[in-house]
Chain A
Amino acid sequence: MKLRDRHRSAAEIPTSSMADIAFLLIIFFMLTAVFATTEGLRFDLPKDDPTQLDVQPEEAIHIKILGEGQYVVDKTPMTLEEMGGYVRMKMQQNPDKPVIIQTEGNVLYFVMIDVFDLLKYLQVENISIPTRTEIERWKAFGIFE
């Protein structure tokens, strides 16, 4: 008796859904990923030496930040644009001129960053950000208001 040829199908593992699973995983990782910021504005902190002043305040440009859009530069109220022009002019005369940023406590952080960014943009190398106690010390030296 002749038996009919049985149609044999090759054994295989179904992998068609593997791509779906893998792409789902990729989408999951991409949506849950938080991109870390690793860039910003850098500066050096002065050493804590009460007998020494790193910056001679009388030679420096003194920027006082009172609030957003309220800046006093060398005792003259200015806007951010005017400050940029003033600092640029002073830097042309003396590129090593130090700049002191004094920020009032109630001012928002981004306002101070705007000024710091402007100075970096103008390629000011010598930027000093004194803390409250340093300012007090400078006042004690009688060279800072």
Chain B
Amino acid sequence: MNPHRVRRIVPVIPTASMADIAFLLIIFFMLTTTFSPEKTTVELPQSEIRTEVPKDAAIIAITEEGIIRFTDGERPSFALGTAAELGPLTREVVRWLPDKEFVIKADRMVRYELIDAVLEQLRLNGAKRVGLLTERKTGGGV
């Protein structure tokens, strides 16, 4: 007897849809990404209590070396020579948007006198609300 030859099918993992899945993921990440005009890397202080600050807030970044950078929340940030230069910039922002929030993104090791100088300029030039960016406190309570 001559039995029919069984035709063997080579086992294959279907990978055709992998590219679709991967591209869908890329599109998802690209659409959900928001670009921040302030990209200075600083080590923020930590706090237990944190509230959301507005996404369009003006940002004042202060590095550990004491370099101050400013952005009105729309244009890319730029470095300032001294805290006093913040005055006219704040006045300009407040003139058009009186309720604009100002956010201080300062390194945890900055001396407080620099923060004080920035707060002084903000207060004198009509800023109403200020946020101090912090990281979530890890380990141990208050």
Contact = CB atoms under 8 A, between A and B. Distances in A.
Contacts of B110: 108-109
B106 A109 contact: yes
Interface residues of B, number: 58
Nearest to B142: A121
Contact of B112 (A19, A41, A109, A114): A109
Interface residues of A, number: 49
Interface stretch (A2-10, A71-79, A89-97, A129-137): A129-137
Interface of A: 15-16, 18-19, 21-23, 25-26, 29-30, 33-34, 36-46, 48, 65, 84, 103-114, 116-118, 120-121, 129, 131-134
28 contacts: A16-B15, A19-B19, A19-B22, A26-B26, A29-B26, A29-B29, A30-B29, A34-B36, A34-B41, A37-B44, A40-B50, A40-B131, A42-B51, A43-B131, A44-B128, A44-B130, A45-B123, A105-B111, A106-B112, A109-B111, A109-B112, A110-B108, A112-B115, A113-B132, A116-B132, A118-B142, A133-B120, A134-B123
Interface of B: 15-16, 18-19, 21-23, 25-26, 29-30, 33-34, 36, 39, 41, 44-53, 55, 101, 103, 105-113, 115-116, 119-120, 122-124, 126-137, 142
